[in-house]
Structure 1
Amino acid sequence: MKPFFLLLLSIALWSCNPSTPETKNTTTTFYLIRHAEKNRENPDEKNPELTEKGLVRAKKWSEVLKNIPFDAIYSTEYTRTIETASPTAYNNNLDILKYEPENLNTLEIFKKGYKNVLVVGHSNTVPKLVNKLLKEDRYEDIEDTNNGNLYIVTLVNQKVVSVNLLSIN
């Protein structure tokens, strides 16, 4: 009788556990954008600020993304990416988290339980990050004159369920 009772108790406890992989879905949506228009007056400047047009675009991004409650906003350490991320970070009352594009560990993001994450990068790093999330080489570097791509990648239990590429002018 005791072994049967223990078996029933074990099954009952296991089936009531809300954290089993079969019952817990973790959804994370990544929004990835390239920095806005940078100042190109000095070709030797490695860390330029945004132009006036770039500052307007950064503000526009914050308006486009205003209804998304971000849990985290990541930016590279460059002035242009930080300036692009700043209006959205301000609207969400978040600090900007710095990252190195080749070292962005998306598994850590999942462990933190973030639901919505904005990542601001560069013409060559944003597509690579999207491809890393997709686990396939789908996107090439962004044209140097294009600052309006928005990649949206949604994952459930770290598996891609949707990917969208929007162009915002």
Structure 2
Amino acid sequence: MKKFLIFFSIFFLFLHSVKAQTTEIWVVRHAEKDKSNPEEKNPDLSEEGKVRARDLAAYLKKEKIDVAFSTPYKRTHQTLDSLIISKVITYNDIKSLVDSIKTNYLGKKIIIAGHSNTVLEIIEAFGGKRPREELTDDDYDFIFRLSVKGDKAKVKMDQYGVPHHL
């Protein structure tokens, strides 16, 4: 009986510590894409976008990011290229992204690269409140930091690189 109580106590403490962990998540839109060929469905970053990707790395230089998530497009992957991250995982939909992070990366530091039409949805999917009504096609300079604990997220918005909005 004594061993059972000790095991149960340790198991309960483990569950409590897992639930209490805060996951830090940065969400960005991909940097500026090359628009020279309007027919291109999967363009690379433009020169301006490459500079912004380096600015993102500078912005996050003091953070040790454990894992990154990117959509399957070149521009989202290239936005993360300047960061030193051992693992970049491709995601296709927001629900599976959130489920994967909540299941496998609790308590980690994560960056997610998305698109103007998904960034705010990602924030909401983690339980955060939209810090802006929308992101336009010209909004490349915002970065959102989420502190996620359970089903709630605190959201902070900032800008990095050359600002589009002063």
Amino acid at match of 1:131: E
Describe the superposition over 1:37-94 as per-residue Cα deviations: whole angstroms up to 9, x where unpaired.
Answer: 1111222221111111110000110111112111211111111111101111xx23x1
Shift of 1:111: 2.0
Alignment-mate amino acid for residue 63 of structure 1: A
Number of the residue aligned with 1:86 = 81
Q: Which residue of 1 aligns with 2:146?
A: 153
- The answer as to whether partners of 1:125 and 1:141 remain within 8 angstroms in 2 is no
Aligned match of 1:132 in 104, 118, 125? Answer: 125
1:153–1:160 Cα contact (<8 Å) kept: no
Q: Is the Cα contact below 8 Å between 2:128 and 2:152 reproduced in 1?
A: no
For residues 13-92 of structure 1, the aligned pairs below 5 Å read 13-17=7-11, 18-21=13-16, 23-24=17-18, 25-88=20-83, 91-92=84-85
- Give the aligned partner of residue 3 of structure 1: none
Q: Residue deviations 1:91-150, cap 9 Å, x none?
A: 23x132111134433222122234111100110011111111126666443121110111
Taking the aligned partners of 1:136 and 1:10, their CA distance within structure 2 comes to 43
TM-aligned CA distance change 1:110 to 1:20, over 3 Å: same
Report the secondary structure of 2:100's partner residue: helix
Residue number in structure 2 paired with 1:162: 154
Contact kept in structure 2, 1:39 and 1:51, CA below 8 Å: yes
Amino acid at match of 2:104: K
User: Displacement of 1:36 after TM fit?
Assistant: 0.6
Deviates more, 1:109-118 or 1:10-19: 10-19
Pick one of 100, 105, 119 that aligns with 1:108: 100
The sequence identity of aligned pairs, in percent, is 26
In the alignment, the residues of structure 1 paired with residue 97 and residue 48 of structure 2 have an alpha-carbon distance, to the nearest angstrom, of 32
After TM superposition, the runs of 4+ consecutive aligned structure 1 residues lying more than 6 A away are none
Considering only CA atoms, is the larger Rg found in Structure 1 or Structure 2? 1
For the Cα contact (< 8 Å) 1:36–1:54, is it kept in 2? Answer: yes
Q: AA paired with 2:115?
A: H
Are the structure 2 counterparts of residues 51 and 120 from structure 1 closer, same or farther at C-alpha, using a change threshold of 3 Å? same
RMSD between superposed Cα atoms in Å: 2.1
Number of equivalent positions: 158
Q: Indicate how the Cα distance of structure 1 residues 149 and 135 shifts in structure 2: closer, same or farther if over 3 A, else same.
A: closer
Q: Secondary structure at the match of 2:65?
A: coil
1:82 is paired with a residue whose SS is helix
